[in-house]
Amino acid sequence: MRHPFRLLAAVALLAYSTFASADQVVPLDVGGKQVKVSVPNGYIRTSLTVRPLYDITAAALPESNRLVEYFIAESDYRDMLAGKADKLRRPGFQVQVMRSIENAEISAADWQAGRVEIAKTMGLLDTNELIKADSAKANERLSEVAGSQMEVNYGEIGKPQVYGNDPGSLRFTLRVPMSVQTADGVQQAVISCVGAVTVLNGRLVFLYAYGDEKQLPELRVALDRFVDGSRALL
């Protein structure tokens, strides 16, 4: 019975070693305040370097959410330029905010009270209904940004699964089956999304790590480091 535990430990250590290089501190503007996040060296800001990818990603989000930044590994970017890869091999990181409260100052007391409510809400959240309500507008935004017809459809996503709830953050996982239809055909994928809600410099932010569903153990390690490193900068 010990073997599965040794295997999980080995996977976690392998994932950690992938991100064991020094991190870089990136300042971002959230609601008129500077929020600093910590991401691995060797990652680039798509808003500055791969603007089309940033714009398409931003357009695909629900209208209520703003993409502050999307980070991808330089090695994946080089593969994309060379046409050698149709998906990212290393996790991508995102920072998002809710537009309606982006400018709100969140105190420590506000956050602790809010964290309890957010945890309750996640257990009731119907992600499919939320996405369905915005899907037509999202596809219009995507097509406009891409300059040609694009349509994204989602399979059964289900509810976020909370795996960490501490005074500093609320962490969860989400499985996202999706298909993307363009003039070139249809591509299907199942994306693992590992996220956290936290407060950085008085602003409520969502930090995410994205990757293939087979990368889930690695993604959790990566997200934990992303969150813990960013909170250590406070």
The whole-model pTM stands at: 0.87
Residue 183 pLDDT: 87
What mean pLDDT comes out for the span 182-205? 94
For β-strands 185-200 and 203-212, DSSP reports them as antiparallel
Q: What does the mean pLDDT of the chain come to?
A: 87
- Burial (CB count <10 Å: 0-12, 13-18, 19+), residue 211: buried
- Burial (CB count <10 Å: 0-12, 13-18, 19+), residue 65: middle
Q: State how far the Cα of 55 lies from the Cα of 141, in Å rounded to an integer.
A: 10
Q: State how far the Cα of 148 lies from the Cα of 139, in Å rounded to an integer.
A: 11
118-156 confidence digits (pLDDT tens): 998 887 777 878 777 788 888 899 899 989 998 998 888
Question: What domains can be seen in the chain, in order of their start residue?
Answer: 2-231 (3.40.1000)
182 pLDDT band, cuts 50/70/90, is: confident
17-70 confidence digits (pLDDT tens): 344 457 999 999 999 999 999 999 999 999 999 999 999 999 999 899 999 999
Residue 85 pLDDT: 64
> Is the confidence at residue 5, as pLDDT, over 80?
no
Q: What is the three-class DSSP state of 9?
A: helix
Query: Which of 52, 53, 28, 49 has its CA nearest to residue 38?
Result: 28
* Non-local CB neighbours of 131 within 8 Å, separated by 6+ positions: 62, 154, 157
